[in-house]
């Protein structure tokens, strides 16, 4: 029986859940300030929705079920695709920007996390405009979001899917060689790259350009200056022009110190069509935020709608934030009472809860001493009412006075 149990040691603690809830509140608040509206998608989708769109979800990672009619369904492995379908089928053209955000669980089974099949993603999707200003605003929102979460040291790595794609097209490689080369660039394995390129029937200038890709990382002006020398066709030159325009707008936002360029960032090359990016924080060795432009996805649903977005892994954010901060639990109150004053105590508890305070009530006959766990202890006993806060004790006659004393104590902390 034991082998069928998932690893319960990875369950979220009460403290982690409080932090997680705070993170989600911060994300939702920040997304809203940029004009995004929250949406939801269904937990179950038809398998064909994901299996027919290439360059997105690994089919082996999807969790499949069969419904009563025999149709194969999957637990939602991604949110962007169903939201794009919703927008595309709702209207064929989007003249103005449609700004949507979500906070939803996604379900995947991977070898890296065999016991963790469910994670929470929070993300935004912006439909209807393909301009440097839109790209820069999305990047600025990503930076603003990480700042809101309290990260002091983080970087947003920005690349472009089109730069490497155009270079690969010039090489005219097989799909297998392209995937091999892509993997080596992502791992920045220069030695293996040199060996692979030496064995390919390509021009030296093209091989040299590809070899430089992993080193196009760092200060945006320096990266773009080096990349100018590697652009072998007009499309690659236009890509660099686009990145320069995006960076100019980022400077106007005043967020350029958080940005580095990485033209070796080529994840999901067949899915993304333009700017791509990922956010790293100092306390975690994997990205906590990933996104990019995907202008062709809506075509899968019969529409032509440019789009860009990003998603945060809430569990990764929690992992990164936990060493830095303690959860803000708010002011907690416990009310003790003897049986003769039960009605007064419970009425006072109701008033404090209405005012927004978390309150626990307990009969003096059944309670244990737990003063250290609460900011305030309230006693209804022995003919008097008493509020205790640390070493300070105050008597009160009614619930209005009790609330006033607590509010005054809050001002002085």
| Integer CA distances (angstroms), 42 to 76, 174, 235, in order | 7, 38, 39
Residue 320 has pLDDT above 60, yes or no: yes
Alpha-carbon distance 339 to 33, whole Å?
Answer: 50
Q: What is the pLDDT of residue 366?
A: 65
The tens digit of pLDDT for each residue in 88-115 reads 987 544 445 699 999 999 998 876 666 6
137: left (phi over 0), alpha (psi -120 to 50) or beta: alpha
Q: Per-residue pLDDT tens for 332-345?
A: 899 999 988 999 99
Output the average pLDDT for the chain: 86
pLDDT digits (tens, 9 = 90+) for 361-377: 988 876 654 444 678 89
Residue appearing with tokens 């309230």: 378
Confidence of residue 391 (pLDDT cuts 50, 70, 90): confident
Name which of 16, 103, 30, 29 is nearest 318 in CA terms: 16
In whole angstroms, give the CA distance from residue 160 to residue 268.
11
- Whole-model pTM: value is 0.80
Q: Judge whether 361 and 348 are in contact, CB under 8 Å.
A: no
pLDDT in tens, 167-200: 888 888 888 888 888 888 888 888 998 888 888 8
User: Exposed, middle or buried, 312 (CB in 10 Å: 0-12/13-18/19+)?
Assistant: buried
Domains belonging to the chain, first-starting first, are: 6-321 (3.30.930.10), 333-411 (3.40.50.800)
Min mean pLDDT across 9-13, 60-64, 80-84 is at 9-13
Q: Which helix (H) or strand (E) holds 155?
A: strand 154-160
Write a three-state SS string for 252-306.
HHCCHHHEEEECCCCCCCCCCCCEEEEEEECCCCCCCEEEEECCCHHHHHCCCCC
* Paired residues of 217 in beta bridges: 262
């Amino acid at each position: 029986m034991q082998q069928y149990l998932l690893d319960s040691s990875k369950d979220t603690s009460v403290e982690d859940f409080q932090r997680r809830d705070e993170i989600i509140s911060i994300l939702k608040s920040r997304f809203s300030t940029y004009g995004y509206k929250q949406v939801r998608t269904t937990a179950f989708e038809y398998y064909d929705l994901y299996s027919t769109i290439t360059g997105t979800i690994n089919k082996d990672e999807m969790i499949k079920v069969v419904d009563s009619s025999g149709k194969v369904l999957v637990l939602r492995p991604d949110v962007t695709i169903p939201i794009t379908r919703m927008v595309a089928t709702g209207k064929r053209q989007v003249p103005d920007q449609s700004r949507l955000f979500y906070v939803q669980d996604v379900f995947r089974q991977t070898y890296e996390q065999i016991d963790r099949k469910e994670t929470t993603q929070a993300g935004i999707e912006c439909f209807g405009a393909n301009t440097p200003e839109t790209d820069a605003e999305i990047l600025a929102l990503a930076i603003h979001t990480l700042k809101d979460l309290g990260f002091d040291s983080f970087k947003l790595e920005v690349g472009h899917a089109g730069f490497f794609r155009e270079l690969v097209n010039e090489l005219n490689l097989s799909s297998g060689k392209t995937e091999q080369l892509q993997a080596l660039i992502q791992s920045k394995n220069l030695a293996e790259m040199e060996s692979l390129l030496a064995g390919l029937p390509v021009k030296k200038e093209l091989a040299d350009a590809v070899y430089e890709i992993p080193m196009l990382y760092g200060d945006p002006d320096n990266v773009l200056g080096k990349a100018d020398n590697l652009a072998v066709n007009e499309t690659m030159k236009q890509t660099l022009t686009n990145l320069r325009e995006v960076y100019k707008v980022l400077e106007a936002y005043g967020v350029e110190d958080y940005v580095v360029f990485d033209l070796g960032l080529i994840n999901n090359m067949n899915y993304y069509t333009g700017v791509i990016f990922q956010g790293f924080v100092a306390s975690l060795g994997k990205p906590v935020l990933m996104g990019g432009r995907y202008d062709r996805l809506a075509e899968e649903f019969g529409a032509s709608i440019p789009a860009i977005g990003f998603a945060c892994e809430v569990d990764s954010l929690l992992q990164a934030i936990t060493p830095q901060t303690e959860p803000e639990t708010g002011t907690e109150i416990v009310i003790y009472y003897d049986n003769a004053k039960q009605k007064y105590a419970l009425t006072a508890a109701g008033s404090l809860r209405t005012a927004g305070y978390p309150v626990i009530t307990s009969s003096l006959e059944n309670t244990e001493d737990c003063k250290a766990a609460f900011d305030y202890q309230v006693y209804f006993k022995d003919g008097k009412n008493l509020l205790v806060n640390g070493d300070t004790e105050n008597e009160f006659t009614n619930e209005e006075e009790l609330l006033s004393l607590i509010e005054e104590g809050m001002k002085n902390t």
